[in-house]
Amino acid sequence: MRRQLGIGVIAGIGVATAQLTVYGVIAGAYDGIVGLITDGVLSILFSALVIGAGYWAQTTDRPDWDIVRLAGWCLAGSIAIGGFELLTALSLYAAGAAEIELLRALTTAAARGAALGIAFGLFDIERRRTKRRGAELERQVDRLEEFASVVSHDLRSPLTVAKGNMELIGDNDAVDEELIAHVEFAHDRMSEIIEDSLALARGGNEVTDPEPVELTDIATQAWQTVGGDDETLSVATEMQLDADPERLLRLLENLFRNAIEHGADGDDSDDGGDPIAAGLPDDYGDDEPSESVLDGLSITVGELTDAKGFYVADNGDGIPEEEREDIFEAGVSSSGTGSGLGLAIVRRIAQAHGWTVSVTDADGGGARFEFRTDPE
């Protein structure tokens, strides 16, 4: 009902001013070609604009209150402009002007005011729509944070209990140690997926307060975190950039782990990505990558020469061109022991900083991840 009333008001004003303008033209209210154009033709155009707004209101899926507000703006504009013109017209009428001139002035003013009101109304409802979208986005972020908290609390707690009991079972010599190792490995993978899921959920929040950081320092710290040696990583830049240090650290850690998992020897497992078929990794239980994994691997962090930004390159097997778009999607992993979220987190963190990330071939034949910190 409210919607139809609003549409009726808009269309009614448009049709009424159009009819009165046509009547004025026929009655000779518009003197000369100039008067006909400035008042008559423009009034028809303004009336057509208002009628068009009424048709749009009829066909659009905007909420009813948006249409009511648009009608209110249209009516208010017509009354406001027409009211000012009425005072002038009355003074002219008192001075002896003809009634048809009074009608012409009021019709022109009403059509102009209605069109102006439509313009303000469209701006107003678009502004309110944007505000509603922003509020909905905030609610979605809040729900995502709530989900992350639930994942963190409700899944970590039983995992901690399970791990504690596994340690007690491990003290029993009658239990197969290999079976225990498989269960512990499954628990560790679940913990890793939880951590990566939380990082993916929270890593996309826009970085609003970046600070200057030294890329060399963050890269070195990230490499130490993943347990790399002093010979594998080479940082060939003294670049400083504005970033969130913690999230940049996580970005580089994920890239380094990705390079280690797909090291110079490649991933020769024939398990189709199934962690059960793959069995336990050879270095499971070690805090640092084994020397065989790092042997021959080379990782370089440097500054882009053709744009503002940096890159991370390795000398591994590289990434086939047809797979380069998919690797940044959550759940995509060619490793049987990966969560499939590492590179998705990398892209999410880059986007939060306003950067773009792409992958290409490195000079050493491996993968080269390029980050453009000033895409424009």
Distance, in Å, from the CA atom of 157 to the CA atom of 163, rounded to the nearest integer, reads 10
Helices in the chain by DSSP H: which ranges?
2-26, 32-35, 42-59, 64-94, 99-150, 156-170, 177-203, 215-225, 245-261, 275-278, 291-294, 342-352
Domain identity same for 8 and 113: yes
Q: Which domain holds residue 60?
A: 2-138
* Residue 20 belongs to some domain of the structure: yes
Q: Tokens in use for 179?
A: 């079976």
* Same domain assignment for residues 134 and 211: no
Give me the pLDDT at residue 2, please. 78
191-196-201-205 Cα dihedral, nearest 10 degrees: 130
Distance CA 173, CA 99 (A): 111
Tell me what pLDDT residue 215 has. 94
For residues 159 and 157, give the distance between their C-alpha atoms in angstroms, rounded to a whole number. Answer: 5
Residue 340: give its domain's CATH number: 3.30.565.10
* Averaged pLDDT, groups of 10, the chain, 376 residues long: 84 85 71 65 85 87 86 88 74 64 77 88 88 79 67 65 70 66 70 68 71 93 82 87 90 88 53 44 54 75 91 86 81 55 85 90 86 82
Tokens of 44: 């028809």
Q: Report how far residue 17's alpha carbon sits from residue 268's, in angstroms, rounded to the nearest whole number.
A: 79
349 in the same domain as 215: yes
pLDDT at 266: 45
The end-to-end CA distance of the chain, in Å, is: 49
Note whether residue 341 is domain-resident.
yes
Domain end residue (candidates: 109, 138, 167): 138
Question: What is the structure's pLDDT at 304?
Answer: 92
Same domain, 218 and 350: yes
Note whether residue 325 is domain-resident: yes
**Residue 145 falls within a domain, yes or no?**
no
Torsion-angle region of residue 285: left (phi > 0), alpha (psi -120 to 50) or beta?
left
Q: Is residue 318 part of a domain?
A: yes
Q: What is the number of structural domains in the chain?
A: 2
Assign residue 328 a region: left if phi > 0, alpha if psi is -120 to 50, beta otherwise? alpha
pTM for the model: 0.53
Looking at the domain assignment, is residue 356 inside a domain? yes
User: Is 6 a member of any domain?
Assistant: yes
Residue 101 domain-assigned? yes
